[in-house]
Amino acid sequence: MSAPTLTRQVFDIRDLNLWYGDHHALKNINFPINKKEVTAIIGPSGCGKSTFIKTLNLMINMVPSVKMTGEINFNGQNILGEKMDLVELRKHVGMVFQKGNPFPQSIYDNVAYGPRVHGIKKKKHLDELVIKSLMDVALWEEVKDRLTAPALGLSGGQQQRLCIARALATKPDVLLMDEPTSALDPISTLKIEELILELKEKYTIVIVTHNMQQASRVSNKTAFFLMGELIELDSTSTIFSNPNDSRTEGYITGRFG
């Protein structure tokens, strides 16, 4: 029987090591991720944040030189084991990138993309998913009269919300976000942050950010990476007010990075 604390975990990463060829990019990472929490990942450029987040839905497998050891347990299954169905995994673990990257298609087709890949064909069902996903990201009111217009005609902030809607349309459990607001203006950034706070009622979110204020505003837990190591993982308030490790303190107070 599992202890009650374990049942709250959606991911349990154990002794994860990752190499790009000879370059040891992630070193002995042990990282539990709790359900319906926002976990922020911070650390200087090149420390392995994007690498780590891309292991969680095995996007990292697209890099041919990658080798991994250890375990990434997702809902109790080690996804580094054999026979992992990547389409199925990515349905449950969606991803949003730094720059909104809508497909050169209509707004509707962008959001319907994932459900269609997963075999949903009925217009009524697709309509429902598209409307719900656009409502979830607070974009519905802005686009409901132009669903067939090209997604690339939206503003940067709208495109990023559209990409989040596209990720939500397959009803994932987990949403991975790699610097989702770094290309956005302050107002659009605020909208995405408000959205994250709403989404965490339903989803588990892992967000990479260079913005300390953002990490402290949106996350429950914060992880500090340095040169491929997870230096410290704790409640966000502890990391920002009373970190255990002097290297974490050095980073958050701006002494390096």
Ligand X SMILES: Nc1ncnc2c1ncn2[C@@H]1O[C@H](COP(=O)(O)OP(=O)(O)OP(=O)(O)O)[C@@H](O)[C@H]1O
Question: Please, what is the minimum distance in Å from the beta carbon of residue 51 to Mg ion?
Answer: 8
Question: Please, what is the minimum distance in Å from the beta carbon of residue 37 to Mg ion?
Answer: 21
- Which of residues 48 and 115 has its CB atom nearest to Mg ion in the complex? 48
For position 2 contacting ligand X by CB under 6 A, the verdict is: no
For position 47 contacting ligand X by CB under 6 A, the verdict is: yes
For position 205 contacting ligand X by CB under 6 A, the verdict is: no
For position 23 contacting ligand X by CB under 6 A, the verdict is: yes
Handedness of CA 140, 145, 149, 154 (dihedral sign): negative
**Region 167-186 residues binding ligand X, contact defined as CB under 6 A:** none
Q: Which does 10 bind (CB under 5 to 8 A by kind): Mg ion, ligand X, none?
A: none
Question: Please, what is the minimum distance in Å from the beta carbon of residue 163 to Mg ion?
Answer: 17
For position 247 contacting ligand X by CB under 6 A, the verdict is: no
- Which of residues 33 and 207 has its CB atom nearest to Mg ion in the complex? 207
Question: Please, what is the minimum distance in Å from the beta carbon of residue 178 to ligand X?
Answer: 7
Closest Cα to residue 226, out of 209, 207, 247?
247
Question: Please, what is the minimum distance in Å from the beta carbon of residue 98 to ligand X?
Answer: 8
Distance between CA atoms of residues 186 and 211, nearest Å: 12
Q: Can you give the binding site for Mg ion, defined by CB under 5 A?
A: 50
Enter the tokens of residue 96. Answer: 């949003």
Give per-residue burial for 147-164: e unless 16+ CB within 10 Å, then b.
beeebeebeebbbbbbbb
For position 18 contacting ligand X by CB under 6 A, the verdict is: no
For position 63 contacting ligand X by CB under 6 A, the verdict is: yes
For position 46 contacting ligand X by CB under 6 A, the verdict is: yes
Q: Which does 20 bind (CB under 5 to 8 A by kind): Mg ion, ligand X, none?
A: ligand X
User: Which residues, in sequence order, are CB contacts of 73 under 8 Å at separation 6+?
Assistant: 11, 12, 13, 14, 79
> Binding segment for ligand X among 18-26, 29-37, 76-84, 116-124 (CB under 6 A)?
18-26
For position 51 contacting ligand X by CB under 6 A, the verdict is: yes
For position 19 contacting ligand X by CB under 6 A, the verdict is: no
H-only helix segments in the chain: 4-7, 49-55, 86-92, 107-117, 123-136, 140-143, 156-168, 186-199, 212-218, 236-241, 246-252
Closest residue by beta carbon to Mg ion:
50
> In the sheet that 77-78 helps form, which strands lie side by side, from edge to edge?
23-34, 9-20, 66-74, 77-78
Assign residue 157 a region: left if phi > 0, alpha if psi is -120 to 50, beta otherwise? alpha
Closest Cα to residue 223, out of 210, 241, 211, 235?
235
